[in-house]
Structure 1
Amino acid sequence: MTELIVLMGSGETTPTMIKPHRAILDRVGDAPAVLLDTPYGFQSNADDISARAVAYFKASVGRDIGVVSWRRRDLPAVEAERALTSLRQAEWLFAGPGSPTYALSHWRDTPIPGLITKSKVVVFASAAALTLGSHAIPVYEIYKAGLDPHWVPALDIFRELTGVPAVIIPHYDNAEGGHHDTRFCYLGEGRLARMEQWLPEESVIVGIDEHTAVLVDLPTASVQVVGQGGLTLRRRGESRVYPTGSTLPLEALADTSAGAAVAPPAPASPAEPLAEPGAASVGEVADALDARFGTALAAQDVQECVAIALELETAIDDWAADTNVSPDHEHARSVLRGMIVRLGQAATEAHEAVPALLTSVRAAREQARANRDFAMADALRDALTGAGFTVQDQRLG
């Protein structure tokens, strides 16, 4: 039976979640750990997403994981049994980005939901996290295709394991829309407030911010918030927010869902942080490094400029496994290309300035010699030879 449910708001394969993943995987030791690919099974680059995730866990987290491929419910019998056997053996089960409605359509009325509850540790992020509640947001259909707001029935596994009738919403603090409200997994306040009225009276919305994980420990009946954001418990427009580092009893979720009066939360118990603070995207990293680069370039500190460019290249590589669809990666690459161009321009400008500088120094030295100011002439000669130039004097006529 499941002992630990981990809900991630986003960033499941980024540097921000490395430390939490390591601590979570310690719970299962060397037992089988697998990635279930259904949520993104419809995408043409599904193989690439799986490969990047596997590489992330191996290189960054230090753990080998397998891939269970269940991209459609109508798999050939042998493939289906092979996948189900791997799921039965797994003690750590991970699923992440994609479409919640696609995943639900290919999990419902199959053995998959039952096997999810048998895994010792269940780590569901982004789209997959939406499927664990009683109702799910059809994100693509509403945000991309423009369908009217509505809920779809989800697996209700969170209630089965915890007793809490939750509706789980990742990407809770999303800000990709800029002035357009894309919080609450791209719904915005207006649509969420409308849709919330259609939920059963006892339902509680469990909102997880981006680059944040909520660890629900069933044996200890406790909940821990780690990462860069917080956990929000919302019911009928009223919210309680638990920031990162908070620990709370599982019954705090149940009390909210049972209709208890919403009040300010008690001070959270201190907890050792599982995630290091840092940027929430490679785009933020690139912008911060670009500012440092500009300062170093203005100071003509070429070595620092090169070091910053290499640091950005490393960051782009570190964030390469991020499956979140955004322009951040291309932006970071553009910033890196810009750094290289600016370094080249600085070198060209310096190179073009050399002839004029030499002409001026030579003229000054010749004038010094003509004035028989040999001390100044020698000083200018030494400066030129020290810079790597050869000076050959002619006899004064």
Structure 2
Amino acid sequence: MTSGVLALLGSGETGPGMTKIHRALLERAPSPVAVNMNTPYGFQENVPQMTEKLQEYFRVSLLTDLVDGRLAHFDSASEDERRRFRHTVRDAGYVFAGPGSPSYALRQWQPLGVVEDLLSVLARNGVVCFSSAAALTLGTHTAPIYEIYKVGADLRWLEGLALTSAVGLASVVIPHYNNAEGGNYDTSRCYLGERRLRVLEEQLPPGTPILGIDEHTACITDLAEGSLTVQGKGQVHWRRAGTDDVIASGESIRLSELGATATTLPDVDVLEPVESVVDSGEVTQLRRSREELVVLLEELRSRARADKDFAVADRIRDALVQAGLDVRDSALKS
């Protein structure tokens, strides 16, 4: 039995129009632990600032602490860091990923096997919410947007994570579907334009659909109910052979109407536990802080005894004894 929610956002993940949608998704999460996967923008020089901006949005607008799931670069990360990242994702009730580069994210996530971690979240009734660049990676194939739009690379597809296939909705995902930033030239279809998307479409295996999501729009797939709901400012497009079936905001349809079939989420491998590693400097600092706290408590206890406030003195003594300290009273001079 499938479960969980897969939410794909066309853009505007931290915009005012998405706040209500995020809140509703967070309410459905089985735990309040929300994690941001920073990998899509891990190549940028402003990674801390990007993460801080997302965390501030979740904290202020959603009243939720966003855990920093850090895996900026697969080859540079140690085995322990990779395992920690995967555990962080699996332990979350709400997993978010958004802006950056889809091709860069794929190069880090594919050798890591992160799709199993996302499936694990969904299997526990969790929420996977991917926007913009991150959403592009979840389809059967991924368009290398930046390389095509900015560098002039040949039109081609990259192998996607195919999470859509695993949940019974095998398709390509194209966010920013109605982008119009180009003004007098076509930047729709996530900056590819309609002409280039048609060329790319011919390279896909026959019958492969495209799930197009307009900007500031959420495509919410409820795996338990087998339904797809559209929320936000725009529409969702189910495209086959160049023809779009449009699902308007506020509409909800059965996945079976799109040709999707209910599927049982595949079993995922159990991760090796992560060893707890404490830096020697941290141990020294903790020990020093503990000693300073003990001295302070002893001073407070001595003052309480001098003031004959034996109730407070006894409470401090009991706390010190419970902490494993040997407390000996000396006679007080009158």
TM-score (norm 2): 0.74
Per the alignment, do residues 138 and 2 of structure 1 end up closer, same or farther by CA in structure 2, a change over 3 Å counting?
Answer: farther
In the TM superposition, what are the counterparts of 1:186-205 in structure 2 within 5 Å?
186-205=191-210
Asked whether the 8 Å contact 1:232–1:240 carries over to 2, the reply is: yes
Instruction: Supply the AA of the counterpart residue of 2:165.
Output: R
In the TM superposition, what are the counterparts of 1:55-94 in structure 2 within 5 Å?
55-74=56-75, 75-94=77-96
Q: Does the alignment pair 1:144 with 2:160?
A: no
Measured after TM superposition, the shift of residue 226 of structure 1 is: 0.2
Q: Which residue of 2 aligns with 1:221?
A: 226
Instruction: Supply the AA of the counterpart residue of 1:56.
Output: Y
Asked whether the 8 Å contact 2:82–2:112 carries over to 1, the reply is: no
Asked whether the 8 Å contact 2:26–2:32 carries over to 1, the reply is: no
In structure 1, what is the Cα distance between the partners aligned to 2:83 and 2:157? 32
In the TM superposition, what are the counterparts of 1:363-374 in structure 2 within 5 Å?
none
Per the alignment, do residues 58 and 29 of structure 1 end up closer, same or farther by CA in structure 2, a change over 3 Å counting?
Answer: farther
Q: Does the alignment pair 1:131 with 2:116?
A: no
Q: Which residue of 2 aligns with 1:44?
A: 45
Q: Which residue of 2 aligns with 1:153?
A: 159
Unaligned runs of 5+ in 1: 257-397
- Quote the sequence identity (%): 43
Q: Does the alignment pair 1:12 with 2:13?
A: yes
The DSSP-based 3-state class of the residue aligned with 1:178 is coil
Superposed CA deviations along residues 239-265 of structure 1, whole A, max 9, x for unmatched, are 111111111001122269xxxxxxxxx
Measured after TM superposition, the shift of residue 202 of structure 1 is: 2.1
Superposed CA deviations along residues 123-145 of structure 1, whole A, max 9, x for unmatched, are 00000101110001101100011
In structure 2, what is the Cα distance between the partners aligned to 1:255 and 1:27? 23
Asked whether the 8 Å contact 1:8–1:124 carries over to 2, the reply is: yes
Unaligned runs of 5+ in 2: 262-334
Q: Which residue of 2 aligns with 1:34?
A: 35
In structure 1, what is the Cα distance between the partners aligned to 2:218 and 2:55? 20
Asked whether the 8 Å contact 1:205–1:235 carries over to 2, the reply is: yes
Instruction: Supply the AA of the counterpart residue of 1:76.
Output: S
Q: Which moved more, 1:25-34 or 1:144-153?
A: 25-34
In the TM superposition, what are the counterparts of 1:269-308 in structure 2 within 5 Å?
none
Q: Which moved more, 1:5-14 or 1:22-31?
A: 22-31
The DSSP-based 3-state class of the residue aligned with 2:190 is helix
Superposed CA deviations along residues 56-86 of structure 1, whole A, max 9, x for unmatched, are 0110122111010011112023322222221
Larger Rg: 1
Instruction: Supply the AA of the counterpart residue of 1:154.
Output: G
Measured after TM superposition, the shift of residue 10 of structure 1 is: 0.1
In structure 2, what is the Cα distance between the partners aligned to 1:115 and 1:20? 23
TM-score (norm 1): 0.63
CA RMSD after TM alignment: 1.4
The DSSP-based 3-state class of the residue aligned with 1:10 is coil
Measured after TM superposition, the shift of residue 89 of structure 1 is: 0.8
Measured after TM superposition, the shift of residue 216 of structure 1 is: 0.1
Superposed CA deviations along residues 122-175 of structure 1, whole A, max 9, x for unmatched, are 0000001011100011011000111121111101111111x2220000000000
Instruction: Supply the AA of the counterpart residue of 2:162.
Output: D
Superposed CA deviations along residues 8-30 of structure 1, whole A, max 9, x for unmatched, are 00000111100000000001254
2:105 to 103, 106, 110: 103
Q: Which residue of 1 aligns with 2:176?
A: 171
Instruction: Supply the AA of the counterpart residue of 1:72.
Output: H
Q: Which residue of 2 aligns with 1:117?
A: 119
The DSSP-based 3-state class of the residue aligned with 1:244 is coil
Asked whether the 8 Å contact 1:2–1:121 carries over to 2, the reply is: no
Asked whether the 8 Å contact 1:2–1:118 carries over to 2, the reply is: no
In structure 2, what is the Cα distance between the partners aligned to 1:36 and 1:106? 11
In structure 1, what is the Cα distance between the partners aligned to 2:23 and 2:51? 19
